[in-house]
Structure 1
Amino acid sequence: MLFVAGALAVLSGLFYAAAHHEIGSFGVTMCQYGSTFCDNPSWVFVGAILAALWGTFVSIR
């Protein structure tokens, strides 16, 4: 689950960069298919935080 949290955190950064036109044509494609997440990259980041909390909660040590 912590891997998922890390992946979501990276995706949040990519959506943020795509929304600010910082990653070129790849960002245009990302915003074409995920316009909601380009408008609100914080939603993906909140998902990353929740996944990290859940992963920490259920981890077995």
Structure 2
Amino acid sequence: MYFVAAALVVLSGLFYAAGNHEIGSLGADVCRYGGSFCDNPHYMLVAGGLAAAWGRFVSVR
């Protein structure tokens, strides 16, 4: 679950950079397929936080 949380945080950064036109032509392709996430990258960040919290909650030690 921590892997999923990390992937969502990385995707949040990618969508943030694409939404602010910081990664060139790749950003146009990213925003074409994930337009709402380019407009609101914090959705992915919140999902990553929830995934990390859930992973912490269900981890067995």
TM-score range for the pair, normalised by the shorter chain length: over 0.9
Alignment correspondent of 1:54: 54
TM, length-normalised to structure 2: 0.98
In the TM superposition, residue 46 of structure 1 has moved relative to its aligned partner by 0.3
Q: State the 1:60 CA deviation.
A: 1.0
Provide the C-alpha distance between the structure 1 equivalents of 2:27 and 2:53, rounded to a whole number of angstroms: 29
**Matching residue of 1:19:** 19
Aligned length: 61
Which position in structure 2 is the counterpart of 1:2? 2
Show structure 1 runs of 5+ residues with no match. Answer: none
Separation of aligned partners in 2, 1:24 and 1:55: 34
User: How far apart, in 2, do the equivalents of 1:60 and 1:22 lie?
Assistant: 41
Quote the RMSD (CA, aligned, Å): 0.4
Which 5+ residue runs of structure 2 have no aligned equivalent? none
Q: Which ranges of 4 or more aligned residues in structure 1 deviate by more than 3 Å? A: none
| Equivalent AA in structure 2 for residue 13 of structure 1 | G
Structure 2 equivalent of residue 45 of structure 1: 45
In structure 1, the residue matched to 2:34 is: 34
When normalised by structure 1's length, the TM-score is 0.98
